[in-house]
């Protein structure tokens, strides 16, 4: 830990590996009055998470839980809170599980955090960025917020606790978002239930300063409510009844059939989107969300860890990353040409238990964390 004394009121600690590199540290930590403030500091990479970051975040959150009144988490720059995880590393059969392990432990810790956890989700918040925000007690969106879980496009599934929080959103909205990867912006993020408050980005510095002076959760909640701006009509409102009907279906095939029955501009666009996604991922995602609706966060994360680990060993996830993020030819060659070719046996192999010594354990179960 290397400390820089900036001034008497803000003691900033920068966490980094001691190397000769002049590279910016990927995590900044700061004590501001009663708050621990953690900044994801990879603005050029839209603050996307890597193994180094999630390991540091986990350690810092555990320390602050015992010593601070609250934790405030934000992203550096004005473009993103966190655009996701480093999927180029995640597709590695060895490095992938090493990345998911501390990341899912972070998600679990945030979900059970004993002190108020406040995520300022200003800007792009996708994938792994949802994992380090949505499980917290408070999530503050701005007019720049854009959220999505786009994993089915790259041959994966909505992880980082997606199987827990998505099926708990209103009127099957979570199943719609998880399967299509559709984006929500600004006040829609509050209307969906993913964010708890909406505050203009120009007021975030003031909000952060005043929050840090709060001494308990009652004061924090009252202050957030004071800053909160009233919601507007949900942009998906005209199609909420269709989302509820179509995504209540028990199979992806039936979802598409119901969308065909609705037959409006929205449903036709949604069908087209689903056809662009990895067929296997659509089936796996629906199965995970259906099961996750009945599970605790801990059980969801254990299930997701199995699916994620098996995904690194199968064709579609590495192929999706290659086609969309590495070669960028946007022409993934999926294992299946359509969802009708994806049978239950194929889906279930992703949910198999791992060898006992490879299963996900949480820090309070494993002395090594």
Active-site residue list: 85, 128, 151, 159
Q: What CA–CA distance (Å, rounded) separates 274 from 60? A: 39
Q: What CA–CA distance (Å, rounded) separates 107 from 86? A: 16
- 184: which 2 tokens? 């929500």
Q: What CA–CA distance (Å, rounded) separates 249 from 197? A: 31
Residue positions counted in the chain: 369
- Helix/strand/coil (H/E/C) assignment for every residue in the chain: CEEEECCCCEEEEEECCCCCCCCCCCEEEEEECCEEEEEECCHHHCCCECHHHHHHHHHHHHHHHCCCCEEEEEECCCCEEECCECHHHHCCCCHHHHHHHHHHHHHHHHHCCCCCEEEEECCEEECHHHHCCCCCCEEEECCCCEEECCHHHHCCCCCCCHHHHHHHCHHHHHHHHHHHCCCEECCHHHHCCCCCEECCHHHHHHHHHHHHCCCCHHHHHHHHHHHCCCCCCCCCHHHHHHHHHHCCCCCHHHHHHHHHHHCCHHHHHHHHHHHHCCHHHHHHHHHHHHHHCCCCHHHHHHHHHHHHHHHHHCCHHHHHHHHHHHCCCCCCCCCCCCHHHCCHHHHHHHHCCCCHHHCCCCCCCCCCC
The answer to whether residues 286 and 52 touch, using CB atoms and an 8 Å cutoff, is no
């Amino acid at each position: 830990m290397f400390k820089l004394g900036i001034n008497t009121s803000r003691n900033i600690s920068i966490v980094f590996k001691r190397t000769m590199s002049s590279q910016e540290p990927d995590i900044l930590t700061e004590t501001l009055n009663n708050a621990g403030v953690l900044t994801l500091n990879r603005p050029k990479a839209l603050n996307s998470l890597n193994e180094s970051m999630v390991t540091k975040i986990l350690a810092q959150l555990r320390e602050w839980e015992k010593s601070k009144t609250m934790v405030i988490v934000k992203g550096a720059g004005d473009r993103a809170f966190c655009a996701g995880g480093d999927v180029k590393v995640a597709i590695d059969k060895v490095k992938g599980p090493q990345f998911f392990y501390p990341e899912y432990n972070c998600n679990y810790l945030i979900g059970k955090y004993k002190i108020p956890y406040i995520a300022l989700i200003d800007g792009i918040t996708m994938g792994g960025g949802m994992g380090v925000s949505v499980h917290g007690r408070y999530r503050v969106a701005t007019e720049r917020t854009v959220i999505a879980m786009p994993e089915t496009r790259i041959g994966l599934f909505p992880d980082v606790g997606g199987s827990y929080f998505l099926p708990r959103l209103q009127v099957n909205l979570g199943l719609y978002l998880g399967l299509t990867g559709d984006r929500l912006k600004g006040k829609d993020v509050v209307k969906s239930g993913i964010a708890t408050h909406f505050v203009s980005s120009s007021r975030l510095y003031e909000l952060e300063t005043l929050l840090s002076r709060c001494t308990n959760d009652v004061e924090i909640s009252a202050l957030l409510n004071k800053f909160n701006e009233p919601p507007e009509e949900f942009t998906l409102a005209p199609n909420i009844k269709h989302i509820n009907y179509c995504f209540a279906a028990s199979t992806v095939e039936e979802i598409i059939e119901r969308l065909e029955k609705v037959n409006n501009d929205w449903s036709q666009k949604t069908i087209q989107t689903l056809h662009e996604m990895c067929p296997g991922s659509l089936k796996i995602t629906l199965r995970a969300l259906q099961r996750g609706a009945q599970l605790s966060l801990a059980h969801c994360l254990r299930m997701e860890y199995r699916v994620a680990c098996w995904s690194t060993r199968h064709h579609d996830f590495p192929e999706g990353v290659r086609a969309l993020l590495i070669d960028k030819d946007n022409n993934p060659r999926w294992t299946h040409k359509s969802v009708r070719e994806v049978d239950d046996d194929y889906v279930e192999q992703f949910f198999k238990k791992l060898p006992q010594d490879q299963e996900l354990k949480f820090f309070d179960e494993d002395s090594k964390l």
